């Protein structure tokens, strides 16, 4: 049986028999893939939950507890300047209803963003705004506030 070599790239040849079947080069590649595949699969995260019946099951990690007041201070904050930006005081918003807090903010050309309510934090953008008051609300009342 004769073997022909087709030019693939410098230093590499693909071998085929006259009938077109592949020779040992393909067998070595298949062996390498078969040996490496289980190793690559083992590199995955331990936090993966497998489908039922696909092997030993591992429960998904529990979500982290909601941070108190979603990171806001229950005492509010005084007016502050950071990196040349002045953020408004937020202490006057504490104890107010959401509607009253929004009215107070509008009178000062500010906006109110509710970052969490009744034990749940909302997804928020991580941008700085000197015209926004962030509030945490429990039973309709502002219980923590901050500006960022």
Quick: pLDDT tens for 23-53. Answer: 555 566 667 667 666 666 655 555 555 555 5
Q: Which two tokens stand for residue 106?
A: 């509008």
Which burial class, exposed, middle or buried, applies to 32 when counting CB atoms under 10 A from its CB (0-12, 13-18, 19+)? exposed
What are the structural domains, with CATH classification, of the chain? 1-62 (no CATH), 68-146 (3.30.10.10)
pLDDT recorded at residue 68: 83
Checking if the pLDDT of 132 tops 90, the result is yes
Quick: pLDDT tens for 71-110. Answer: 999 999 999 999 999 999 999 999 999 999 999 999 999 9
Nearest to 2 by CA among 28, 25, 20, 27: 20
pLDDT recorded at residue 64: 46
User: What is the residue-averaged pLDDT of the chain?
Assistant: 78
Nearest to 66 by CA among 141, 125, 123: 123
What end-to-end distance do the CA atoms of the chain give, in Å? 78
Which burial class, exposed, middle or buried, applies to 71 when counting CB atoms under 10 A from its CB (0-12, 13-18, 19+)? middle
Checking if the pLDDT of 7 tops 60, the result is no
Give the strand pairing for 111-117 and 132-138. Answer: parallel
Rounded mean pLDDT of 118-128? Answer: 92
């Amino acid at each position: 049986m004769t073997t022909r070599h087709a030019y693939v790239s410098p230093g590499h040849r693909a071998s085929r028999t006259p009938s077109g079947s592949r020779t040992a080069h393909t067998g070595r590649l298949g062996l390498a893939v078969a040996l490496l595949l289980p190793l690559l699969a083992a590199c995955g995260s331990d936090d993966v939950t497998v489908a039922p019946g696909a092997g030993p099951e591992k429960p998904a990690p529990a979500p982290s507890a909601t941070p108190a007041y979603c990171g806001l201070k229950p005492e509010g904050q005084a007016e502050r300047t950071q990196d040349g930006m002045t953020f408004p005081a937020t202490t006057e918003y504490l104890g107010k209803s959401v509607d009253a807090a929004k009215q107070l903010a509008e009178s000062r050309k500010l906006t109110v963003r509710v970052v969490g309510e009744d034990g749940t934090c909302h997804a928020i953008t991580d941008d700085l705004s000197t015209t926004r008051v962030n509030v945490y609300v429990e039973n309709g009342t502002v219980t923590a506030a901050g500006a960022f």
